[in-house]
């Protein structure tokens, strides 16, 4: 009998899971992807501003790990992979933009000279840092928050002005709540070996591994036309491979049957039932928790405890004649500065394909993100007011002499999971509970990393787990074009 595998959730994790399933086992199984929203992609989405398409969710893939870029290549996007023209971000501190000091590891400094000359920290905060070399060891029992550990070693200034803006940029969370083990795992491991955080951070950065001045390979990659194309192209390839792709298909219930699983879709009044041999849940923590309530109650409770930050991305188009010189790729603003904007990106400076499209129209395109975990007051405003607040904030930091000609706001409720202290242990417990249920796997941003690359990796692991459950023998594949060899 042919197995029917259902992937619930058509964000990048679910799409990657379906892609790996189709490539490796497509001739032995049938695959269905069920997505609740009217379109696939989840946090990968795009929209046009002044006729130029821009990503309104994720806009870059980490290129220092292989998974996202490999997926892009395998779905046929290799020729469209681009790298940011600059990733030199700045910090908005005490009302002005200052360069981001070199050698930071998620805000923890490794180069004190670069830190001292950047002008981010005042003399008191700078003088506090070397105490790290003489202070007794800070014991780490289990996990600890990034903020607590770094404050103990280096002082509050480093947390407020360096760590918080960087963590805010990735997780929309606060250093005092996020787990060191989950968000900066390399530093966590080294911090257990070293008394000094500076020594631990230097070792974690691998200082000395690369000759000074040697070329760095790019840290990020994008796609011409936007990273959303990773999702849309994967959908196209999956359709070509015969995968059933359904949008507007919310899964409300998941129960085990004698031969596998039964999923309930649609409204309570007119439910649709679907049978499956195996299921991959690639949904955010909250729906995953609800769907596992009867089959893996322990995992369900743990999933329910994972909280999310709500954010909004604001895109703004200015007349080029109203914008002075912009230096770098954008800026991050620490929460203690009290502004609305958490991060801003100069889209045309960062991505050449956006720059040339905007230049042709005499425009400069900016993107700002607002909203942090437990600090989403700004999102209570109307879109118009949010855009006004964002413009006012940007005008304090940047040479803008007039209002934007077009703006739009994209709200992301449940945008980013918060990896709270103890997250790694929680994920281990969820995964081992799920692994005990035959024909079930979970993946997605809630677990081992919020970035696209981490999501793709978690999808791969979920497919491996299911293949074991279903006893699927491997097939040879051509991973470059996705055909069966």
Ligand X SMILES: Cc1cc2nc3c(=O)[nH]c(=O)nc-3n(C[C@H](O)[C@H](O)[C@H](O)COP(=O)(O)OP(=O)(O)OC[C@H]3O[C@@H](n4cnc5c(N)ncnc54)[C@H](O)[C@@H]3O)c2cc1C
CA distance 237 to 245: 11
Q: Which stretch binds ligand X (CB under 6 A): 38-46, 95-103, 190-198, 375-383?
A: 38-46
Contact 177, 210 (CB under 8 A): no
**Does residue 390 sit in helix, strand or coil?**
helix
Residues in region 247-276 near ligand X by CB under 6 A: 250-251
Q: Which residues contact 118 (CB under 8 A, 6 or more apart)?
A: 98, 99, 100, 101
Q: Tokens for 452, please give them.
A: 């696209």
**Least distance between ligand X and beta carbon 367 (Å):** 9
Judged by CB under 6 A, the residue of 4, 5, 7, 14 near ligand X is 14
- Tell me if 35 contacts ligand X by CB under 6 A: yes
Residue 213 vs residues 202, 210, 219, 451: alpha-carbon distances, Å: 17, 8, 16, 28
Exposure string for 168-196, b = 16+ CB within 10 A, e = fewer: bbebbbbbbbbbbbbbbeebbebbeebeb
**Least distance between ligand X and beta carbon 369 (Å):** 6
**Least distance between ligand X and beta carbon 163 (Å):** 19
- Tell me if 43 contacts ligand X by CB under 6 A: yes
CA distance 434 to 448: 15
**Least distance between ligand X and beta carbon 317 (Å):** 18
- Tell me if 415 contacts ligand X by CB under 6 A: yes
If the CB atoms of residues 28 and 250 are measured against ligand X, the closer one turns out to be: 250
CA distance 201 to 64: 18
- Tell me if 84 contacts ligand X by CB under 6 A: no
- Tell me if 226 contacts ligand X by CB under 6 A: no
- Tell me if 416 contacts ligand X by CB under 6 A: yes
If the CB atoms of residues 21 and 191 are measured against ligand X, the closer one turns out to be: 21
Judged by CB under 6 A, the residue of 60, 161, 162, 198 near ligand X is 60
If the CB atoms of residues 36 and 441 are measured against ligand X, the closer one turns out to be: 36
**Least distance between ligand X and beta carbon 22 (Å):** 17
Judged by CB under 6 A, the residue of 107, 287, 334, 404 near ligand X is 287
Q: Angle at the Cα of 481 (from 219 to 10), degrees rounded to 5? A: 70
- Tell me if 173 contacts ligand X by CB under 6 A: no
Q: Tokens for 225, please give them.
A: 């036309």
- Tell me if 34 contacts ligand X by CB under 6 A: yes
If the CB atoms of residues 260 and 451 are measured against ligand X, the closer one turns out to be: 451
- Tell me if 386 contacts ligand X by CB under 6 A: no
**Strands 477-478, 278-281: pairing kind:** unpaired
- Tell me if 370 contacts ligand X by CB under 6 A: no
Q: Count H helices, E strands: the chain?
A: 18, 24
- Tell me if 444 contacts ligand X by CB under 6 A: yes
- Tell me if 284 contacts ligand X by CB under 6 A: yes
If the CB atoms of residues 28 and 39 are measured against ligand X, the closer one turns out to be: 39
Judged by CB under 6 A, the residue of 22, 33, 450, 456 near ligand X is 450
**Least distance between ligand X and beta carbon 253 (Å):** 9
Q: Give the dihedral sign, CA 422/425/428/432.
A: negative
Q: Angle at the Cα of 190 (from 185 to 191), degrees rounded to 5? A: 95
Judged by CB under 6 A, the residue of 235, 412, 418, 434 near ligand X is 412
- What DSSP string describes 157-179? HHIIIIIHHHHHHHHS--TTTBB
Using a CB cutoff of 8 Å and minimum separation of 24, what contacts does 128-131 make? 128/154, 128/155, 128/157, 129/154, 129/155, 129/158, 129/198, 131/155
Residues in region 288-327 near ligand X by CB under 6 A: 311, 313
If the CB atoms of residues 198 and 314 are measured against ligand X, the closer one turns out to be: 314
Which residues would be at the binding site for ligand X (CB under 6 A)? Answer: 8-14, 34-37, 42-44, 57-62, 250-251, 282-284, 287, 311, 313, 412, 415-416, 444-445, 450-452, 455
């Amino acid at each position: 009998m042919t197995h029917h595998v259902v992937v619930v959730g058509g964000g990048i994790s679910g799409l990657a899971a379906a892609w790996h399933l189709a490539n490796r086992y497509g001739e032995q199984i049938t695959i269905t992807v069920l997505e609740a929203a009217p379109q696939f992609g989840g946090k990968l989405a795009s929209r046009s501003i002044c006729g130029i398409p821009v990503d309104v969710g994720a806009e870059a893939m980490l290129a220092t790990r292989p998974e996202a870029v490999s997926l892009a290549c395998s779905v046929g996007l290799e020729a469209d992979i681009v790298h940011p023209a600059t990733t030199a971000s700045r910090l908005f501190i005490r009302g002005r933009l200052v360069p981001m000091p070199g050698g930071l590891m998620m805000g923890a400094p490794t180069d004190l000279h670069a830190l001292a000359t950047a002008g981010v920290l005042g003399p008191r905060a700078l003088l506090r840092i070397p105490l790290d070399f003489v202070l007794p060891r800070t014991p780490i029992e289990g996990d600890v928050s990034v903020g607590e550990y770094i404050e103990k070693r280096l002082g509050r200034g480093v947390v407020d002005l360096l760590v918080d803006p960087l963590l805010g940029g990735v997780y929309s969370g606060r250093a005092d709540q996020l787990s060191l083990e989950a968000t900066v795992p390399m530093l966590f491991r080294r911090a257990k070996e070293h008394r000094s955080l500076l020594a631990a951070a230097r070792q974690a950065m691998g200082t000395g591994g690369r000759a000074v001045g040697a070329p760095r390979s790019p840290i990020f990659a994008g796609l011409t036309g936007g990273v959303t194309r990773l999702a849309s192209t994967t959908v196209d390839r999956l359709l070509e491979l015969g995968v059933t792709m359904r949008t507007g298909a919310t899964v409300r219930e998941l129960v085990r049957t004698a031969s596998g699983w039964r999923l309930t879709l649609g409204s309570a009044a007119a439910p649709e039932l679907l049978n499956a041999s195996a299921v991959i849940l690639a949904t955010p923590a909250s729906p995953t928790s609800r769907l596992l309530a009867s089959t893996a109650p322990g995992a369900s409770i743990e999933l329910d405890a994972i909280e999310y930050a709500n954010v909004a991305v604001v895109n703004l188009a200015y007349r080029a004649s109203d914008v002075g010189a912009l230096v770098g790729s954008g800026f991050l603003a620490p929460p203690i500065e009290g502004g609305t904007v958490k991060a801003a990106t100069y889209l045309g400076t960062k991505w050449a394909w956006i720059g040339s499209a905007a230049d042709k129209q005499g425009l400069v395109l900016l993107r700002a993100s607002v909203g942090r975990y437990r600090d989403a007051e700004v999102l209570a405003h109307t879109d118009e007011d949010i855009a006004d607040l964002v413009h006012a904030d940007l005008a304090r930091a940047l040479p803008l002499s007039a209002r934007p000609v077009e703006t739009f706001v994209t709200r992301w409720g449940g945008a980013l999971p918060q990896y709270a202290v103890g997250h790694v242990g929680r994920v281990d417990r969820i995964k081992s509970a799920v692994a005990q249920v035959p024909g079930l796997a979970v993946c997605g941003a809630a677990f081992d990393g919020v970035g696209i690359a981490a999501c793709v990796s978690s999808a791969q692991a979920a497919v491996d787990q299911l293949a074991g459950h279903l006893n699927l023998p491997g097939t040879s594949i051509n991973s470059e074009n996705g055909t069966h060899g």
